[in-house]
Amino acid sequence: MKTYLYTFIFFAFCLSVQAQNAKIKGRVVETQGEKKLPVEAVSISLLTADSAFVGGCATDAKGIFQLEKLAKGNYIVSASFIGYETVSIAVNNLSGTIDLGDIMMGESSVELGNVEVTASNIINRVDRQVILPIKSAVDISADAYDLMNNLNIPRLYVNPIMKTMEVSNGGSIQTRINGIKVSANELAAILPKDVLRIEFIEDPGSRYGEPGLGAVVNIVTRRRETGGYVSFQGTDAPNRLWGENFLAAKFNNRRSEWGLSVVNGNRGYKHRYKDVEEEYHFADKTIERIQEGLDDKSKNFKNDINLSYNLYNPDKYVFNAIFRNTLKNAPYNNYYNKLYDGSNTKDFIYSRVLQEDNSYTPSLDLYFLYNLPKKQTLEFNAVGTLMSTNSERTYLEYVDQNNPFSNILTNIDGKKYSFIGEGIYTREFEKFNFSAGLKHSQMKTENTYSGTTSTLSDMMQSETYGFAEVVGKVKKFSYSAGVGVNRSWFKEGEIDNTYWIFTPTVKLGWQPHKNSFLRYSFQMNPSIPSLSSLTDVEVLLDTIQIVRGNPNLKTYKVFKNNLNYSYSKGIFRGYLNLNHQYSKNPIMEDVFIEGNKVILTENNQDYYQQFDVDLNLGLNGLTIGSLKRFLSINAGFGYSKYMSRGWNYDHTFDDFYFNINASLTYRNLSLIGQYRRYKSSLYGETIQNGTDMSALGLFWMKNNLQLGVAMMFPFTNNFRQGYERLSKDAPVTSWEYIKESKRLLNIRLAYNFSFGRKHKAGNKKLNNVDTDAGIINMNR
């Protein structure tokens, strides 16, 4: 009897397990001609027959989705994405595994239609966050900066007025459009309604080709098959020289796309000054020098002019070419000071710095991707760049300006030639992806220093990097493991150095449930010295200080550990991040006394450490009464600790910072407000301090037209940034002020029009750039 009872219980259990292990899977695609292309990041919702929500997921890069551990019954599967018609499929009498095959999605006949993301719009992966745009944010945005600000991406600080971005853990931000590396200014030319998703990649590592890189922002857009668009935006101050303007146009014909973008930024100030307090401890005396700032002027212009061409065959290849031109002109960048000894404020002289800088940087970027059988790809990228720079700096000390008793002239004419080539092989297997690649950079500079001292600097540098990487997923766990070898080489005159560094990378991800994600990463990256630091040149900064290059600098290792946890449900999101960075023998400043001069140079020091803790909390689209999705607010709080040890110094520094970003939306109007306490930092012997950032803006958006007014620093009387040098031989405190920045009013006019049908264009994955001119840094 017991045997029959156990047998019955066993079969009942098996049936129960089977009933709870039903699956629904499928693939979401769109058509382009006769081809079917997968659609990534489509929101899949599972509903009961009476439309009660059961669960959901999102499609992967292949358009595939899978809903698991389902009970037997009747369901509705709904696939939705901004800009596409929502597709619903009835699944009746589900009892096992059902494959829905290819689900065809067509573009909405009305722009964005009524599609709205009602669940969390953030998808977590082992190496990035994928943010899906929501309709309410798209409707009030004129460009990509507006959209990213309105989406409140955790730990990404966006200033939509100045067109800038910062990441909370420090470091620079690399910007890309469809994987193609672009200047940050070019993001302003993106139409928000064309954005499919935004990929935010933190601590990306050396694979992305830039030392000190804090994050990568890649905006993936849909493109047109015929027609195109023209977009214009002007943000300018009515009574001051301050502006951010761009004009962009793209035209599509079948598989080809031509593009032109012109981005202009300008600044001009007449009331800028710098206060400096210095101490110099020489062997026989101590000099306490005060530089009291007096108003002087500065002006600079930057123009990016880019031509692009893209040819795309979805099953065979992608070819992309960009001809970039960057022109910078700073006709004057001056400082004017009253100079006196700290013990005698009445006996003073005047000092003045007159500086002019110009540069022109053309580059040609060629990219080719070829699809091989069995889900294999080959990618090649080649970038050639020429940098032509001219910098002229004059330092004067005088009582009578017509008869100076100190006149130090430094003129630099520079040429830099660089070539960057990269190739990557990728193979997709059933459970993981494998990739391997090789990258080589070759650089040569010819810089002529003339004036008070004259010299010629002729340098050559190269870097070669090879890597292999595996990325996969096992149930709720995802992983990425890579290994690389880096070779760096430098030559100037008789100095010839070569260094090798091993670079492992590990990233792990775990999704304990659908609303949360835990991510850990470890990286060991090389940091090679810049050509501007390696140059065997010294120049006089003033009558006391000398800036000296160091050709004996060595490549060093940077170890990074990062752990973060994110939770998002509906309109709420939370993000906790822990970060640790350790650099062994980092290149940091070296300040010392030599005779009656202070030498400012760099050296490989003992170590550098940085600890960061960040907490971000946000509500995105809170409904208040009858005001639907009226309020969005995001607040970030952080603490950082720095430890910097050189061979002759040991410094620590702690800093607390926070950021609040809020917006109110009513119909076509949006009011934004930002306040951010600047994150100060210590590196070497210098603490960098900046101004607390604040802004208010009121914008009206209707169809393709945006009008708005904004104010920077509405509650402050001055802009202030500076640094503190902690050197025992030559401590310095310096603060720079710009009076015109207070309550800086801007007026914005933006308009775009488009024509033709849309399509998905080929995405470029390899991207390289060279921005280091190789001339010695005199901005101290």
CA distances from 115 to 37, 191, 260, 266 (A): 21, 18, 31, 39
As given in the structure block, the two tokens for residue 278 are 């210095």
Mean pLDDT of the chain: 84
End-to-end CA distance of the chain: 92
As given in the structure block, the two tokens for residue 659 are 């950021």
* Structural domain boundaries in the chain: 19-104, 224-759
Among 38-42, 296-300, 414-418, 541-545, the minimum mean pLDDT is found in 38-42
CA dist 28 and 101 (Å) reads: 8
- Cβ pair 435, 468 in contact under 8 A: yes
Per the listing, tokens 């020289």 go with: 241
146 phi/psi in degrees, rounded to 5:
-60, -45
CA dist 348 and 290 (Å) reads: 10
pLDDT tens track for 447-469: 898 888 888 888 898 999 899 99
Confidence of residue 110 (pLDDT cuts 50, 70, 90): very low
Whether the per-residue pLDDT at 768 is higher than 60: the answer is no
CA dist 399 and 339 (Å) reads: 10
Whether the per-residue pLDDT at 757 is higher than 70: the answer is no
What is the percentage of the chain residues whose pLDDT exceeds 90? Answer: 41
DSSP state of 71: P
Q: What is the DSSP string of 236-275?
A: E-SSSSEEEEEEEEEEEETTEEEEEEEEEEEEEEEEEEEE
CA distances from 219 to 176, 199, 764 (A): 6, 6, 12
Task: Indicate the fold that domain 19-104 takes in CATH.
Answer: Immunoglobulin-like (2.60.40)
CA distances from 355 to 331, 332, 350, 399 (A): 8, 6, 17, 20
Q: Which helix (H) or strand (E) holds 433?
A: strand 432-451
Which of 97-111, 365-379, 757-771 is the most confident on average? 365-379
Whether the per-residue pLDDT at 153 is higher than 90: the answer is no
Phi/psi zone of residue 28: left (φ > 0), alpha (ψ -120 to 50 degrees), beta? beta
Give the mean model confidence (pLDDT) for residues 33-57: 73
Give the mean model confidence (pLDDT) for residues 112-120: 41
Whether the per-residue pLDDT at 481 is higher than 80: the answer is yes
DSSP state of 509: E
Q: Which residues pair with 655 in a beta bridge?
A: 640
CA dist 630 and 696 (Å) reads: 17
CA distances from 62 to 65, 102, 424, 475, 599 (A): 9, 11, 20, 17, 58
CA dist 500 and 463 (Å) reads: 10
As given in the structure block, the two tokens for residue 749 are 């006019």
CA dist 404 and 402 (Å) reads: 6
Q: Which residues pair with 665 in a beta bridge?
A: 670
pLDDT tens track for 328-342: 999 999 999 999 987
Among 96-110, 646-660, 720-734, the minimum mean pLDDT is found in 96-110
DSSP state of 286: E
Confidence of residue 109 (pLDDT cuts 50, 70, 90): very low
Give the mean model confidence (pLDDT) for residues 64-74: 84
Q: What is the pLDDT of residue 209?
A: 55
CA dist 594 and 698 (Å) reads: 56
DSSP state of 211: T
- Cβ pair 375, 321 in contact under 8 A: no
Measured CA angle at 346 (ends 340, 352), to 5 deg? 35
Q: What is the pLDDT of residue 761?
A: 43
Whether the per-residue pLDDT at 15 is higher than 60: the answer is no
- Residue 93, burial from CB neighbour count under 10 angstroms (0-12, 13-18, 19+): exposed
Q: What is the pLDDT of residue 767?
A: 47
| CATH fold match for the domains 19-104 and 224-759 | no
Give the mean model confidence (pLDDT) for residues 644-670: 94
Exposure on the CB side of residue 139, measured as CA atoms within 13 A:
16
pLDDT tens track for 162-175: 888 888 777 788 88
Give the mean model confidence (pLDDT) for residues 91-111: 71
CA dist 703 and 511 (Å) reads: 39
CA dist 708 and 669 (Å) reads: 9
CA dist 407 and 630 (Å) reads: 61
Global pTM reads: 0.79
Confidence of residue 321 (pLDDT cuts 50, 70, 90): very high
Q: Which of 247, 233, 227, 386 is nearest to 306 (CA)?
A: 247
Whether the per-residue pLDDT at 385 is higher than 50: the answer is yes
Pairing state between β 180-182 and 172-177: antiparallel
For residue 13, the SS3 value is helix
- Cβ pair 142, 701 in contact under 8 A: yes
More confident residue, 138 or 115: 138
Other CB atoms within a 10 A radius of the CB of residue 96 amount to 11
CA dist 566 and 278 (Å) reads: 46
Q: What is the pLDDT of residue 107?
A: 56
Q: Which of 116, 34, 28, 13 is nearest to 66 (CA)?
A: 28
- Cβ pair 358, 330 in contact under 8 A: yes
Confidence of residue 255 (pLDDT cuts 50, 70, 90): confident
- CATH homologous superfamily of 224-759 equals TonB-dependent receptor, beta-barrel domain (2.40.170.20)
Residue 107: which residues within 8 A CB-CB, separation 6 or more? 30, 83, 84, 85, 758
Give the mean model confidence (pLDDT) for residues 220-227: 71
CA dist 554 and 532 (Å) reads: 14
Whether the per-residue pLDDT at 12 is higher than 50: the answer is no
Confidence of residue 11 (pLDDT cuts 50, 70, 90): very low
Q: What is the pLDDT of residue 691?
A: 84
Per the listing, tokens 């090649």 go with: 380
**Cα 620 to the center of its chain, rounded Å:** 22
Give the mean model confidence (pLDDT) for residues 149-161: 86
More confident residue, 372 or 761: 372
- Cβ pair 547, 591 in contact under 8 A: no
The length of the chain is 780
DSSP state of 192: G
Whether the per-residue pLDDT at 116 is higher than 50: the answer is no
Number of H helices and E strands in the chain, helices first, is 4, 50
Q: Which helix (H) or strand (E) holds 618?
A: strand 607-624
Per the listing, tokens 């031989």 go with: 729
Whether the per-residue pLDDT at 300 is higher than 90: the answer is yes
Whether the per-residue pLDDT at 9 is higher than 50: the answer is no
CA distances from 383 to 308, 321, 440, 472 (A): 14, 10, 11, 31
Give the mean model confidence (pLDDT) for residues 210-237: 81
Give the mean model confidence (pLDDT) for residues 660-672: 91
Q: Which of 409, 408, 416, 418 is nearest to 391 (CA)?
A: 409
